[in-house]
């Protein structure tokens, strides 16, 4: 934060920016669509005003967008996805970030290729509006009962649950969305599951698949 002056606390500025950015994003979920980068810019402008600093939001947003190519998957992601595929399930990836960014993220999963990759930019609706989850279901030809949704932000979980989809709350031990910072708000609906990584999610999928197969075998045996 040296460019903004020594009186600005970096952690405090970041938290204020994050809250403002998320506020713009969630408001847009039920209003006119705008790219996520636009919400990043608006949040930066308001955070700079809040702290009385003369930031250049356009310049800082370019830093943010340039850094997207450096985003790497968590170590468990590819192995977990490959195991899920081996169990016979489809792996769907959907994000609020612009299409070009999610495509960059997915390219880092090589050699794994998801069954579907989508973005709010494609749907023209932001999370957590239930309509955007329903859009994904229509795109892939699935029903809510066919899907187990996994996400870290609690508002994302609430949107999926509102769309009638079972959800697993991903609470990694570290990071801003990790277990220490992730909390329910008043009125939130509890997730169906909580996991610390995608290997835990895979074990849940495997257990549910085994239960379903056993139930089908029992039905055929009647």
Per-residue model confidence as pLDDT tens digits over 39-81:
999 998 989 888 888 777 778 888 888 889 999 999 999 999 9
Give pLDDT, residue 210: 66
Distance (Å) of CA 137 to CA 30, 111, 210: 19, 25, 24
**Domains annotated on the chain, with CATH:** 2-69 (1.10.150), 71-221 (3.40.50.1000)
**Of 58 and 122, which is predicted with more confidence?**
122
Which residues, at least 6 apart from 192, have a Cβ–Cβ distance to it below 8 Å? 148, 166, 167, 168
Distance CA 53, CA 8 (A): 8
Q: Coil, helix or strand for 148?
A: strand
pLDDT digits (tens, 9 = 90+) for 126-142: 999 999 999 999 999 99
pTM: 0.85
Q: Coil, helix or strand for 167?
A: strand
Hunting for tokens 């934060």 — which residue is that? 1
Distance between terminal CA atoms of the chain? 69
Distance CA 80, CA 198 (A): 6
Give pLDDT, residue 3: 57
Strand partners, 170: 195
44-53, 106-115, 203-212: lowest mean pLDDT where? Answer: 203-212
Distance CA 212, CA 148 (A): 14
Which residues, at least 6 apart from 180, have a Cβ–Cβ distance to it below 8 Å? none
- What is the torsion angle, in degrees rounded to the nearest 10, for the CA atoms of residue 169, residue 173, residue 174 and residue 178? 30
Q: What is the mean pLDDT of the segment spanning 88-99?
A: 96
């Amino acid at each position: 934060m040296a460019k903004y002056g020594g009186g600005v606390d970096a952690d405090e500025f970041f938290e204020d920016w994050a809250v403002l950015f998320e506020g713009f994003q969630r408001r847009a979920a039920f209003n006119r669509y705008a790219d996520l980068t636009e919400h990043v810019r608006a949040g930066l402008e308001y955070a700079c005003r809040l702290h009385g600093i003369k930031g250049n939001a356009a310049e800082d947003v370019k830093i943010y967008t340039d850094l997207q190519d450096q985003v790497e998957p968590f170590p468990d992601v590819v192995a977990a996805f490959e195991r899920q595929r081996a169990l016979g399930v489809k792996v769907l990836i959907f994000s609020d970030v612009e299409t070009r960014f999610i495509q960059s993220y997915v390219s880092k999963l090589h050699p794994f290729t998801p069954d579907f990759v989508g973005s709010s930019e494609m749907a023209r609706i932001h999370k957590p509006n239930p309509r955007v989850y329903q859009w994904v279901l229509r795109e892939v030809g699935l029903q809510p009962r066919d899907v187990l949704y996994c996400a870290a932000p609690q508002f994302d979980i609430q949107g999926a649950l509102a769309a009638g989809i079972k959800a697993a709350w991903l609470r990694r031990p570290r990071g801003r969305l990790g277990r220490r910072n992730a909390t329910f708000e008043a009125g939130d609906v509890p997730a169906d599951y909580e996991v610390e990584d995608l290997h835990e999610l895979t074990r849940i999928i495997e257990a549910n698949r085994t239960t379903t197969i056993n139930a089908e075998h029992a039905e055929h045996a009647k």
